[in-house]
């Protein structure tokens, strides 16, 4: 099929053809290919697409971020709450609920820092710098004597 103008239909055709080529490419090379969204500009006649190639089985960015965050905050990768086993599988640094946790049923959920610190923190761990600042800020100052006494 010859494409004469760039529009949504042309992008769909390009995507389908690229899917076929990438399937053959990933089989031949053993790489894992992930495609991003296609954007197009009909005035310029251009199509942009993001393509990410990784070694099959390599650690994802979220997995690497989770590993680094667990080391920084001194937390375990697994925790048991009741009869439920939870495992940290990812971390989204800029999110309000950054922790991706897989439950024993195989489904993944997102949780906030408070939940993770409460349930995954090593028992004898030193407080993180942020926790130490909060602890110092919460200390009650000693009473001051007034000049009236």
Q: Are residues 49 and 84 in the same domain?
A: no
Q: Are residues 79 and 117 in the same domain?
A: yes
Distance CA 137, CA 140 (A): 8
Contact yes or no for 111/102 (Cβ under 8 A): no
Q: Are residues 43 and 96 in the same domain?
A: no
In a domain, 18, yes or no: yes
Q: Are residues 68 and 114 in the same domain?
A: yes
Q: What total number of domains does the chain contain?
A: 2
In a domain, 143, yes or no: no
Distance CA 70, CA 35 (A): 29
Distance CA 93, CA 82 (A): 28
Q: What integer is the mean pLDDT of 110-118?
A: 91
Q: Are residues 115 and 95 in the same domain?
A: yes
Q: Are residues 66 and 119 in the same domain?
A: yes
* pLDDT over threshold 80, residue 127: no
Q: What is the dihedral of CA 83, 89, 93, 99, to 10 degrees?
A: -10
In a domain, 30, yes or no: yes
* pLDDT over threshold 70, residue 144: no
Averaging pLDDT over each range in 27-36, 103-112, 128-137, which range is the top one? Answer: 103-112
Contact yes or no for 86/110 (Cβ under 8 A): no
Q: What integer is the mean pLDDT of 112-135?
A: 77
Q: Are residues 68 and 18 in the same domain?
A: no
Averaging pLDDT over each range in 34-48, 105-119, 135-149, which range is the top one? Answer: 105-119
* pLDDT over threshold 70, residue 90: yes
Q: Are residues 67 and 82 in the same domain?
A: yes
Contact yes or no for 51/33 (Cβ under 8 A): yes
In a domain, 133, yes or no: no
In a domain, 140, yes or no: no
In a domain, 48, yes or no: yes
Average pLDDT, the chain: 83
Which pTM was predicted?
0.56
Q: Are residues 66 and 100 in the same domain?
A: yes
Range of the domain at 115: 61-124
């Amino acid at each position: 099929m010859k494409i004469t103008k760039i529009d949504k239909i042309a992008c769909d055709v390009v995507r389908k053809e690229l899917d076929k080529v990438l399937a053959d490419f990933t089989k031949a090379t053993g790489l894992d290919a992930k495609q991003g969204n296609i954007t197009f500009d009909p005035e310029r006649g251009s199509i942009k697409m993001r393509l990410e190639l990784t070694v099959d089985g390599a650690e994802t960015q979220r997995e690497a971020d989770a590993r680094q965050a667990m080391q920084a905050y001194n937390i375990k990768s697994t925790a048991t709450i009741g009869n439920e086993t939870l495992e940290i599988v990812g971390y989204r640094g800029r999110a309000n609920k950054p922790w991706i946790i897989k439950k024993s049923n195989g489904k993944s959920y997102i949780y906030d820092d408070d939940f993770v610190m409460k349930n995954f923190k090593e028992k004898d761990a030193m407080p993180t710098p942020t926790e130490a600042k909060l602890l110092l800020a919460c200390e009650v100052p000693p009473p001051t004597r007034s000049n009236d006494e």
